Chains A and B, each alone.
Chain A
């Protein structure tokens, strides 16, 4: 809401020295946040000038400029003192002899546009002749301001014009507009009346209610209006009050007065015509949206009713809209005239030829208007106010004021009859405990202060002796005040939130959970291993699962689709982090980071919308256990994963040696290390799994055999389709499973201080036998005294035989209670070899 300071001064006492920023600060205190201060940015010299000569000079670019001499009085050209100002002007709506407004060198126009003498179109131009838009007076930029026309209705001003006169004061350019943000509960602050009331509350000054005008008693029924509602929403009818007044013999082609246009421009509305300006002015003043019909174009009696599905209306914005059964309509003689409280149609619009005007001031149900506004994507000044609640008692006042203004400036007469139908919902009083503010705020508010504040707000407060409970009837313009906490806020904000003390509450939590610590330790470990943590948006395209090579029945296709995705080509939620992490990797590569390793921790979606969807439960009490369970079950599972991906070189070449590219073993190692950092010995086994290379993919499992993820090199087809570098590697693990598996405390093994014995074995196995299996067999065979096992050589060649490989291992063994003898060590080695022979077909070399 833009609040013209001059307008505000009409409604409340504001000391002369008070500036826009002071007013903004006072309004902030009561909850109207400052959005900006407009105006007051212009700096002179801005003076009245009289055009002495004006020579058109056509230019090569097709434009015609005017070389002007302008008498600016004592402000005359400095270099050529006594000679009138020489100014180049592009406009052509003026002649020699006209009064204009000139900004001279040194002046600053709104937007911090500083004016200096400059050479242009072959002349030295010493300033500028201004248009309305340049001065921030309005939108008009068709030509410069010609004061003779601008003040056509102010002969007094025209007579007083003199060259060199200060135009800032003349045009009221020192005026400021304070823009504040109005929260949805304060609909009444979308009016000067509401803002002024808040300002008075904040600064403790008197408030003059502009609604305090006398509405004469109607001499009879006015224009016939019927209210029909067969489908009220939640028991509330769509229109509970409809006031209409008639003004006859108006000259609608007359302009609205400049002061009104000025206020409208300042609040951000464009002056249009007398009838429209009057309705807008009254709406801005009182908060009541009005509509002006051309009475002679109304096809018949007005009926307010719900729409029949499929009915159509072309609204003023030239869009044909198909109406829904919830829409409330204003109809005349059966013809649809408007969507109530939102926007009218063109058929009965007031035009320059209009003679007789019907002014509508109605009160519409907030929900009805909100739904229509949202359905038709039409947020208008009217809908904005009705949605937030309009004072139902203001309608007759607003209609009276609008009728008076129309009659005054359009020269008409007001019918003494009036329409006022409908029955606004009666307000009901509610109980309020005056000790409530003290308890909820933590600051002492005496009873007198609480009751006094409520009365200043306009509440009727009924006290009963000796009881802290009072009965409160909220004012009609505050439909938001319906219960105790809302009144507490009023009491607290009027005293000031800055008075609230600061007290740290006591709490005794148990620290981070295991799952939260797991996330941190895994994330930190991967960063220490050289990977960079990134975040990617979880939105993916429909075709991605095919690109990744998922089978038709792959569970990873099971996800939810967004009804309104940001991009139509990415409507699904990811089911793996790699779905989106790979794109982040690609982006890095494309930006020149060709050797890159990234990782992400986050949630993935694993499931779709259940049949019937998630229930919408009542809010009047806690859901019953069965409903609550249904609610949780309807939300698709979203396990937390960790994923990593790398491309390019793990180590570049240099004086230290040759380079090494990332390979599948890096991905597998990171996966193992995620387990290791959590104290879990993850198992690695060859696997075939999309989107990995079928021969370079490992399944990663818990010791109990549950698979927690996969790692390896990505499938070349996937890399090609996703435009990723060849040999890109990646892995993804279910962090929830790892969290669960690492929950039980690890039990320590007593350390033996007896000597370590080492022995080596060399085995020949078929090429197809994975090293991991040979290792596992050796461990099984060696038994509990084996302390460590490591592969130190891998050899292929003639001696080994075709299709075979030779593996050499160090075994280190130690007993807890004695020094092992050479024979014991040999026996362990023999058992290990025997197991490898049995399980892997290994032969000792």
Chain B
């Protein structure tokens, strides 16, 4: 690079000629504007902004000017160089944006294409409904109790005031473990033996929910299954009344089906409760307003199960002092809740283990 030539006559310095500088500026801007690729822009920049460019040469020659001329020349050349630099930077950004946009467009994928990754499985909706029901009672401060499915006859029947000859024992067709006369064992026909076990092992206050599998000798058809699921509730404490039973059932149906749905109790009979009642629940779809309602059949009420105040004989057999404590109990079917809530019309879909059935539901229903 040559140093400033102090002996040089500025008039003779052609590079600083305003016409030349202007021409160089115009040429540089035109080259920038006409560059269509980053490579072309780079080449143009070398030509018009590089060390050998006219403007660079002019800039260098300012140093050789007498001090009186430097300011004007500097302004002339600096202005031109500034405009050129800005134009090139702007063009650089434009071309980069174009390039990026092109690359992004080229990279686009068809996201409707299946991934081939194995998907989620599914829980059985019976389990999900059951857990939802459990959570409702847990939130009311109850606990969940379990027990065996092959169960002693005494816990399943006798302790529940279902003596060997009680007519009610005929109402339930029971699977007996062989030898039927002497095994003393059955497949539980309800989860009530869990209530008896709980009363024998706990001291009041007791507030438990007993969900589980139960068995009756019904052939499988669209509405019956020999194996099905129940949940039974039991509360034993001082001063427990039928109003508490009604309150618990109201709270439950409102939490499961929503709104201000009420329950209705109808007098009934069960050997293990006295007084006894059938539980109806207001239809949560039509509230009794739709005569053609698919859920309640236009009745406005849906039968849910049975309940009552625990029979004193049951409390006594289970070791609870019936003079001090009272209690209530209820029993409802989970399949029924599932069928009603999710429009399941055939029991076999629930029981046969066809994966298509479970897959219809998410993991929280």
Residues of A within 8 A of B (CB): 28-31, 33, 183-186, 366-367, 370-371, 374, 387-388, 439-443, 483, 485-486, 488-489, 492-493, 497-498, 500-513, 515-516, 520, 523-524, 526-538, 560-566, 571, 573, 584, 587-588, 591, 593, 596-599, 602-603, 605, 609, 612-617, 619-623, 628, 631, 634-636, 638, 650-652, 654-657
Contacts and interface: CB of A to CB of B under 8 A. Distances in A.
Given A533-B121, A533-B123, A619-B161, A33 B144 contact: no
B287 interface: no
A634 B184 contact: yes
Given A532-B121, A563-B177, A638-B148, A442 B242 contact: yes
A656 B180 contact: no
The 7 closest A-B pairs by CB, nearest first: A442-B243, A31-B267, A614-B184, A442-B241, A622-B319, A489-B275, A183-B269
B104 interface: no
B181 to A, nearest CB: 9
Given A527-B363, A529-B121, A651 B134 contact: no
Given A533-B123, A588-B353, A622-B319, A505 B178 contact: no
B121 A609 contact: no
Contacts of B242: 440-443, 492, 500
A566 B217 contact: yes
B194 to A, nearest CB: 12
B131 A440 contact: no
A509 B123 CA distance: 27
20 contacts: A33-B268, A485-B274, A489-B276, A500-B243, A502-B243, A502-B247, A505-B248, A507-B140, A527-B121, A527-B122, A531-B121, A532-B121, A532-B355, A533-B121, A564-B176, A593-B355, A603-B148, A615-B184, A622-B318, A654-B116
A526 B363 CA distance: 12
Contact of B207 (A485, A509, A564): A509
Interface stretch (B5-13, B60-68, B81-89, B152-160): B152-160
Contacts of A506: 141
B123 to A, nearest CB: 5
Interface stretch (B14-22, B72-80, B307-315): B307-315
A635 B148 contact: yes
B266 A488 contact: no
B259 interface: no
Nearest to B218: A566
B124 A441 contact: no
Contacts of B182: 612-613
Interface string B123-146: 110110001001000101111101
B351 A535 contact: yes
Contact of B243 (A501, A563, A573, A656): A501
Q: Is the interface of B mostly helix, strand, loop or mixed?
A: mixed
Given A512-B138, A609-B177, A524 B363 contact: yes
A538 B228 CA distance: 12
A571 B187 CA distance: 12
Interface in B267-322: 267-269, 274-278, 309, 311-313, 316-319
A491 B216 CA distance: 34
A665 to B, nearest CB: 14
B241 A622 contact: no
B102 interface: no
Interface residues of B, number: 103
A587 B353 contact: yes
Given A501-B246, A622-B200, A28 B122 contact: no
Contact of B248 (A504, A511, A655): A504
Contacts of A185: 269
A609 to B, nearest CB: 5
Contacts of B226: 537, 566
A563 B121 contact: no
A655 to B, nearest CB: 7
Contacts of B126: 535
A110 B306 CA distance: 33
B247 A503 contact: yes
A532 B358 CA distance: 7
Contacts of B250: 502, 504
A439 B309 CA distance: 12
Nearest to B250: A502
B275 A616 contact: no
B144 A513 contact: yes
A31 B269 contact: yes
Given A387-B167, A500-B243, A635-B151, A564 B175 contact: yes
A439 B251 contact: no
Contacts of B264: 497-498
B239 to A, nearest CB: 8
Contact of A636 (B114, B150, B153): B150
Given A511-B138, A535-B124, 9 more contacts: A485-B274, A485-B311, A488-B274, A505-B207, A532-B358, A560-B150, A603-B213, A617-B159, A619-B317
Contacts of B278: 33
Contact of A619 (B159, B267, B352, B358): B159
Contacts of B205: 507
Contacts of A593: 354-356
Contacts of A531: 121
Nearest to A516: B144
A530 B114 contact: no
Contacts of B213: 602-603
B174 to A, nearest CB: 8
Nearest to B274: A485
B251 A504 contact: yes
A535 B353 contact: yes
B269 A186 contact: yes
Contact of A440 (B117, B184, B275): B275
A597 to B, nearest CB: 7
A184 B116 contact: no
Nearest to B170: A374
A529 to B, nearest CB: 7
Contacts of A442: 241-244
Contact of B143 (A443, A492, A509, A623): A509
A515 B143 CA distance: 13
A253 to B, nearest CB: 38
A534 B150 contact: no
B265 interface: yes
Contacts of A628: 200
B243 A584 contact: no
B179 interface: yes
A370 B170 CA distance: 9
Contacts of B356: 593
B258 interface: no
B121 A605 contact: no
A99 to B, nearest CB: 40
B71 interface: no
Contacts of B127: 523, 533
Contact of B116 (A30, A502, A652): A652
A508 B141 contact: yes
Contacts of B105: none
Contacts of B187: 562, 573
Contact of B275 (A184, A485, A563, A564): A485
Contact of B266 (A33, A609, A635): A33
Given A560-B185, A617-B158, A530 B119 contact: yes
Contacts of A485: 274-275, 309, 311-312
A621 B213 CA distance: 28
Contacts of B170: 370, 374
A501 B205 CA distance: 21
Contacts of A504: 140, 244, 247-248, 250-251
Interface in B342-363: 350-356, 358-359, 363
A502 B266 contact: no
B240 interface: yes
A289 B317 CA distance: 36
Contacts of B178: 560-563, 571, 609
A503 B226 CA distance: 36
